[in-house]
A and B are shown apart, each in its own frame.
Chain A
Amino acid sequence: MKFLRAGARQVVGLFVGDWVQSAVVLVIVAAGWFAVSRFGPVALVVMVALLSGQLVWFARAEGRPSSSPR
């Protein structure tokens, strides 16, 4: 049972480090899904910009000097 739980944790952990960041990524992808059919390539550019932006944003939030190093 412990082994199965560790396996399940490992599988979830493959995709989710920070639940908020994962949720933001999913919202961006979902918004992209709706936008691509309406706005075409422009929506792709915006989606990639938002995905890159969230990478910088969450790294900055975690790397702020006030947050303790792990």
Chain B
Amino acid sequence: MRIDKTSGTQRSAPGRPRKLTARLSGSDRTFRGIATAGGVFVLILMGLVGAFLAYRAWEALHKAGWSFLTTQQWNPDGGGFGIAAVMIGTFLIAGVAVVVGVPLALGTALYISEYAPRRVQRGLITVIDLMAAVPSIVFGLWGWQLLQWKVVSLSRWISNWFYWIPLFHVDGVARDDPLASPTYFTSSSFAAGLVVALMITPIAGSIMREAFSQAPLGEREGAYALGATRWGMIRAVVLPFGRGAIVGGTMLGLGRALGETIAVLLIISPVYQIQPHILQKGTSSISALIALLIREATPFGVSALMAAGLALFAMTLLVNFAASVIVSRSRSGAVSEA
């Protein structure tokens, strides 16, 4: 009876939508409250990291002014300090890592999604995840004790033939000097970058693989039906489909490479001047600078290191934000949402 009446009144006003209100029960309201509190707490905590870095860095930034970006030396308690040298060192190491790591990641991702037999695919994915979880100290020990000595001959060969490119020049070593001490070539940006490359390979690779494996089956079969070889299919379907993920994975790897601390700290020998020769001993990075100096720093020195940390933070945030935008805008990201 009552139901009929309600529907009758509704029919009399057809244009107006019925107001829908849901009254939550007590337990639901509590649940929502707790969940929201958790979310807000995480937001505040994460925001605090950035805000606090900025707050503590203010003192040093205020004192240094714009020279913070252009000064090479790091001597906060007397003389000047700035991130020109460490910033360039950070980018050189990360650059080597990306140049070496991204082809490796791309090859691994393509192999797992396109070439590997179905039986081993799952196992390989686990192995790549494992590689992402191997502690950075293990990579660092390996690079420090073994790799940096093994790449000396490669460094020597490159500097021998491409010395006219400033990047590959090595000061203090005559050309074609087979007796030059290998210590000219160790502890370089190149060695550190190679180790970091192996660390970013699984991160970039897993993002690329995920996108590649979602490339639509119909288009793959269409390419095959038109007579494409497997590589032709990959070039026509898989790679364009995963382009966003390739760029995004590269950026994520770059972000990780910029912030890598312990492996870099073990390998490099720090210098606080711009050192653009990647094969030569001595380089620096922001994270290694912080890890090296924070324990002995004066209060103002801590503030200066905070400023360096803030610069690193801003860079990684920028890179990661760009990466996430690119990944989510690309077609592969849109499909994964469904």
The finding on whether chains A and B are genuine partners in a shared complex, rather than unrelated, reads no
| Residue positions of A touching B, CB distance < 8 A | none
